[in-house]
Amino acid sequence: MRLLPRRASLSIGGWCVTTAISARNLRKTYPGQPPVHALGGIDLDILDNEFFTLLGPSGCGKTTILRLIAGFEHPTSGTLEMFGTSLLDAPPHKRQINTVFQNYALFPHMTVAQNIGFGLEMLGRPRAEINAAVEEMMALVQMTQMADRQTSQISGGQQQRVALARALAPKPKVLLLDEPLSALDFKLRKAMQLELKRLQTETGITFIFVTHDQEEALTMSDRIAVMSDGAIRQIGGPRDIYDHPSDRFVADFIGDTNFLSAETVSADGTTIRLSSGKEITVSGAPVQGKVSLAVRPEYARLTTEEAGLLSGTLGEVVYFGTDTHFHVALDDGTAFVLRQQNGPDVTVAFATGDRVGVHFPPATAQVLRD
């Protein structure tokens, strides 16, 4: 079976965009006693030329989606399409999809150039085409000077570039990346995040990236799907998911969050009473009665006890170089963390044991179901 892609389109925000991968009611159940429901019937649209990230804790189903797209697993039910053509009957080598794995899977006895050209050789491409593609990919990942080195003689970061170049050389329609940065040290991982985004932008290929690292997802992604227990909890841009989480799980999983107990006191849900008794105006609560308020540490500041929306006792003050974290024990027993950016003109006006107030702009607080 030869796939002949036709362009499937989707309207988002009034714009007509091309859909690269589309799933409807996609389920995957592994037999057992009891059976394991890895995916519980998801709907998903991933756009052409998009850096899309599947984010969630271990066992949430994100790698299962990747394996279904690659053809390494078959769904229990549902539909899965690439550019409008079903993938369900297509074997992996017919899908115009490549995968970069966690361990890179390079051939240590081959040179960098030979590794990059290996996939093209397996496809039977002419030698001139292979040589041209290898040169292009080495330049793209900035490895031209390493062409004759064996991959066992280069660093982890360089090996990852070779793995990317090898996967990109056949010019796939979609590139799958299964936590490819997890083995790198912190500084190299940060550098490669920017490198991956650059490669996606320059090639125009749809990247589908799997990670449990929220910072990776926020740094690189055009859109993120946050997953839990085989379900997609929220899909959106990094800022939208960070500032407007759909539920408590997303708010807690993405970044650091303070959760406050509160209750609605107006019929339209726009007036919230905090545990201190003070009231704030918000955009509206999803339910009446008791709710949770999510407040990011960087949106709150310390003030005097009288001026704060909440009050408590300052505990640990932790210096992190770029910022300082203040741990406050609120009067209702809730632990609250504030984050203050450090700078030459920034001073700390409070010390451990002081009575303090906590203030935050009401518009930055997200009202969630309790």
| Confidence grade of residue 269 (pLDDT, cut at 50, 70, 90) | confident
H or E element in which residue 218 lies: helix 214-220
Boundaries of domain holding 237: 8-96+172-243
Please count the CA atoms within 13 angstroms of the CA of 345 that sit on its side-chain side: 0
Asked if residue 355 and residue 216 are part of one domain, the reply reads no
Residue 14 pLDDT exceeds 80: no
Asked if residue 274 and residue 178 are part of one domain, the reply reads no
What are the DSSP calls for 262-281, one per residue? Answer: EEE-STTS-EEEETTS-EEE
Chosen domain end from 186, 219, 243 = 243
| Confidence grade of residue 231 (pLDDT, cut at 50, 70, 90) | very high
Q: What is the CATH number of the domain that holds 84?
A: 3.40.50.300
Please count the CA atoms within 13 angstroms of the CA of 22 that sit on its side-chain side: 16
Asked if residue 187 and residue 76 are part of one domain, the reply reads yes
**What does the pLDDT read at residue 9?**
54
Q: What is the CATH number of the domain that holds 358?
A: 2.40.50.100
Asked if residue 305 and residue 178 are part of one domain, the reply reads no
Query: Which residues is 341 bridged to in the sheet?
Result: 323
More confident residue, 156 or 331: 331
Q: Which of 160, 162, 198 is nearest to 181 (CA)?
A: 160
**What does the pLDDT read at residue 268?**
82
pTM of the model: 0.88
- The structural domain count of the chain equals 2
Asked if residue 224 and residue 82 are part of one domain, the reply reads yes
Mean pLDDT of all residues in 8-25: 74
Q: Which residue has the tokens 């991968």?
A: 21
Asked if residue 266 and residue 205 are part of one domain, the reply reads no
**What does the pLDDT read at residue 284?**
66
Asked if residue 80 and residue 21 are part of one domain, the reply reads yes
Asked if residue 230 and residue 323 are part of one domain, the reply reads no
The answer to whether 94 and 82 have CB atoms below 8 angstroms apart is: no
| Confidence grade of residue 2 (pLDDT, cut at 50, 70, 90) | very low
- Residues 6 or more apart in contact with residue 285 via CB below 8 angstroms: 264, 269, 270, 272, 291, 367
Asked if residue 64 and residue 198 are part of one domain, the reply reads yes
Asked if residue 345 and residue 217 are part of one domain, the reply reads no
Asked if residue 351 and residue 280 are part of one domain, the reply reads yes
The answer to whether 195 and 227 have CB atoms below 8 angstroms apart is: no
| Confidence grade of residue 113 (pLDDT, cut at 50, 70, 90) | very high
| Confidence grade of residue 69 (pLDDT, cut at 50, 70, 90) | very high
Asked if residue 186 and residue 46 are part of one domain, the reply reads yes
Mean pLDDT of all residues in 189-212: 92
**What does the pLDDT read at residue 15?**
55
**What does the pLDDT read at residue 102?**
80
Residue 173 pLDDT exceeds 50: yes
CB-neighbour burial class of residue 266 (10 A; exposed 0-12, middle 13-18, buried 19+): middle
Chosen domain end from 217, 243, 269 = 243
The answer to whether 286 and 325 have CB atoms below 8 angstroms apart is: no
The answer to whether 160 and 181 have CB atoms below 8 angstroms apart is: yes
Residue 208 pLDDT exceeds 50: yes
| Confidence grade of residue 183 (pLDDT, cut at 50, 70, 90) | confident
Question: Whole-angstrom Cα distance, residue 306 to residue 282?
Answer: 22
Question: Whole-angstrom Cα distance, residue 251 to residue 258?
Answer: 9
